Amino acid sequence: MSEAQPSGQNLLVLTKITGILNAFTQARPELTLAEIRQSTGLPQSTAQRLVANLVDQGFLDRTRDGYRIGVRMLHWAAPAMQGLEAVDIVRPVLEEMRDRLGETVAVFRESQGYRVCVALAETREMVRRAMRVGQILPLHAGSAGRVILAWTPGLLDRILAAGLEPLTPDTIVDRAELERVVRETLVAGIAITAGERQTGAIGLSAPVFGPQGELFGALTVMGPSSRIPEETGREWAPYVLERAEHLTRTLGGRHPDEG
């Protein structure tokens, strides 16, 4: 399997790495290997191997008694810091949508061939689909991925070349079929999917654009299909499109068709 190919194993490793980095907080900026293991629940050999790799790559720095977040991360974080204002603008709209629809609302952006949750307003319902800011997900499954593929030139070809892994019985794994639904999304301006990434879940996504007509991200409403049947998703579509357009204007963006 090539290094660029998305896979369940790659996502599992990324989840473990994220767990290690999340163990460090302002209250606990320095941790021993034992404390990292206790926080993450990772086996000793796995924790030791991943921590060593993170030190080699600059994600962590060694201290006399343990480890801390690497100074090199400050350099990598600089571009992300420039986007914080945009995320702050987005968040109130997500909360407004969550309060009106009662379901989780998020924004996803593309990174390294995956989609990443960058902003989130979680439903207040007890039954919910797990999601968190920073969560990394494949692009070929789900409405947000479909939107990102539709409005990011060249990305679909890269994903198709890497191969399409089934996540549920409803995941699209046929190249021609994925190309077809991405074209449909581009025409419709919105995507509605059910059960592609997680059985019993539904997602509804619309594009948000930046100042040059580039895709800023996918605005997504998600939840269990028991509360959001597909007909309800279709009824919500005009509202989600209107909110996505509102975010585009608020961010100083424009639709690429506007020239």
In this predicted structure, the answer to whether residue 83 has a pLDDT above a threshold of 80 is no
Domain layout of the chain by residue ranges: 8-78, 83-258
The answer to whether the CB of 140 falls within 8 A of the CB of 8 is no
In this predicted structure, the answer to whether residue 85 has a pLDDT above a threshold of 50 is yes
Q: Angle at Cα 212 formed by Cα 210 and Cα 215, nearest 5°?
A: 45
> Is CATH 3.30.450.40 the right assignment for the domain spanning 83-258?
yes
CA distance 225 to 124: 16
Residues 6+ apart with CB under 8 A from 69: 21, 24, 29, 59, 60, 61
Average of pLDDT values for 74-80?
60
Q: Find tokens 């539904």 and name the residue.
A: 202
* Token couple for 16: 């473990």
Q: Which CATH class is domain 8-78?
A: mainly alpha
pLDDT in tens, 172-223: 999 999 999 999 999 999 999 999 999 999 999 999 999 889 999 999 999 9
pTM above 0.75, yes or no: no
- The residue type of 133 is V
3-state secondary structure of 116: strand
CA distance 221 to 243: 11
